[in-house]
Amino acid sequence: MKSKSKVKKYLRYSLLIVLTLIFLLPVFFMVISSFMSTKEVSEMLNFNTGEFTSFKLIPGDFSLEQYYRVFFRNPQYLKEFWNSVLITFPTVICQLIVSSLAAFAFGKLKFPGRDKIFFVYMILLILPIQVTLVPSYFMYQKIDLLNNVMSIILPGTFSAFGICLLRQNVRYISDASIEAARVDGASYFKIFFRIILPQIRGGLISLALLTFVDTWGVIEQPLIYFTDRSKYPLSVSLSAGSADTQIIFACGVMFMIPALLIYFLGEKDLRSSFTRI
């Protein structure tokens, strides 16, 4: 009886590890490949050898060649990285501000038409980007936003996604504390800053992370809205076809580092926020 439960325990743990490996391996492999020499990478990505490709978990010859090329030989990638930063960071910040304000209104305040407006938001949230891409183009042309990073930052800022996410968080805050503050004569702004914001910190961080990832990987909009190739973010040149295969993995690692940083910095808060949903 005891041995049976022990077997069961081992089985459960090995299943856990297998599952984890499935999620981790591709990522792990990308990091590994970034330390291969460019020659090894092109050999690996050659599908014409007649043999089946395999994943090398240890680079044949460890080298920093890819990183060297990204950082010193092709400054274009660094420039694009910077372009990505210019698009992403403002989007994240503005989205946090706009969404938390609106989420407070939707989550805790009563006003006529609240549910109807929220439903419209949800519908707008699930609109595929292709629906608004072309009309937006005409509009940006009229208000002179083409070829301007604002054409990506502004729609990102006002995406309804953050409102949906934060509203869930706001709703879990107890009404009593708000009520008490109001009885004390605190203004709504004070309530927002003193009570709401500290309690949805986890939600804010997860929103920051998700918005970051989304904007960081933007492809369609810059291709259509930007006239000037030098303004393209890194994600555009990393999308297959246009990228230099020899340094693709180093670029990929460079590309995911900012997202990982945010993730690790806010990891604790992040998990606590999800317990609220």
Partner 1 sequence: MKFEKKQAVWAYIFLLPSLIGIAIFYVIPYLMCIYNSFMGTGGFAGFDNYIAIFKNRAFLYALRNTMIFTLIAIPSLMIISFLIAKFMNSFKKISAFFRSAYLMPIVIPAASLIYIWQLLFDDQGTINGILNFFGIDNIHFFSSGFSMVMIILIYIWKNCGFCVILFTAGLANLPNSVHESAHLEGAGGFTTTVKITLPLITPTTFFVFLMALINSFRMFRESFSLFGTYPNENVYFLQNFINNNYNNFNYSQLSSSAIVMSLIFIGIMLAFFMYERKADYME
Partner 2 sequence: MKKIKLVNLILACFLVLTLLFFTACSADSNQDYIGNNKDQGTDTSSRDDRVTIYTYVDPEDSNQHYDNDTMFYYPILQMAHMYNNYCSMNGVGERAVEVVKFPSRDRMIQQMSTEIMAGGGPDIILLDNELPISKLVNQGAFADLNTFIENDKSENRLNLKNYNRHLLETGVFNGKRYIMPMLYRPDVLISNTKVLSHYKVDSSKKLTYSNLMESLKTYMAQDEKISFLEGYESSKDLLLQYINDNVDREKAKTDFESKDFKQTVQSIKKLITKDMEGEKTIHSVNENNCLFEKGGFDSEGRYFPINYSLPNLQALSNDDFSIWNLDQDLLDQYAQEFYSKINPDDDFLWEDINRQFEQFVMENESDNFNDNLAMTGKTTLMDGITKDKNSRRGEITCGFMINGNSSKELQENAYDFMKYSLGERMQRYVTYDSTYSTSKASDVPNIYNLPVNNEALKTSYSDIGISEKKIKRITKNSSFLEKIINHSQSLNTFVIKDGYYNKNVIGGLVEDFLQDKISLDNFITNLKSKTEIYLYE
Residue ranges that bind partner 2, judged by CB under 8 A? 47-48, 85-86, 89-90, 92-93, 134, 137-138, 141-142, 144, 146-150, 201, 205, 224, 227-229, 262, 265-266, 268-269
Q: What angle do CA 9, 10, 16 make, to 5 degrees?
A: 95
Q: Which does 200 bind (CB under 5 to 8 A by kind): partner 2, partner 1, none?
A: none
Q: Which of the choices partner 1, partner 2, none does residue 265 contact, using the CB cut-off of 5 to 8 A by kind?
A: partner 2
Taken in order 160, 166, 168, 173, is the CA torsion positive or negative?
negative
Closest CB 138 distance from partner 2, rounded Å:
6
Nearer to partner 2, 65 or 80 (CB): 80
Residue 37: CA count within 13 A, CB half-sphere: 7
Task: In angstroms, give the least distance from the CB of 68 to partner 2.
Answer: 26
Are 261 and 208 a contacting pair, CB within 8 Å? no
Partner from partner 2, partner 1, none contacting 90, C-beta within 5 to 8 A by type: partner 2
Between residues 206 and 231, which has the closer beta carbon with respect to partner 1? 206
How far is the C-alpha of 205 from the C-alpha of 159, rounded, in Å? 16
- Among partner 1, partner 2, none, what binds residue 185 when CB lies within 5 to 8 Å by partner kind? none
Distance of alpha carbon 225 from alpha carbon 132, whole angstroms: 12
∠ CA 239-241-244, nearest 5°, is 85
Q: What is the token pair recorded at 181?
A: 């503050």
Report how far residue 275's alpha carbon sits from residue 271's, in angstroms, rounded to the nearest whole number: 7
Min CB(93)–partner 2 separation in Å: 5
User: Of partner 1, partner 2, none, which one does residue 228 interact with (CB within 5 to 8 Å by kind)?
Assistant: partner 2
Positive or negative, the Cα torsion across 205, 208, 214, 219? negative
Q: How far apart are CA 2 and CA 222, in angstroms?
A: 61
Q: Which is nearer to partner 2, 114 or 271 (CB)?
A: 271
CB 95 within 8 A of CB 88: no
Q: Considering the complex, state which of residue 12 and residue 194 has its C-beta at the smaller distance from partner 2.
A: 194
Give the nearest distance from C-beta 146 to partner 2 in angstroms: 8
CB of 248 to partner 2, least distance (A): 18
Smaller CB distance to partner 2: residue 89 or 172? 89
> Which residue type sits at 82?
W
11 binds, among partner 2, partner 1, none (CB under 5 to 8 A by kind): none
Length of the chain measured in residues: 277
**From the list partner 1, partner 2, none, partner contacted by residue 7 (C-beta under 5 to 8 A by kind):** none
For partner 2, the closer of residues 214 and 269 by Cβ is 269
For partner 2, the closer of residues 67 and 214 by Cβ is 214
Place of tokens 């305040």: 109
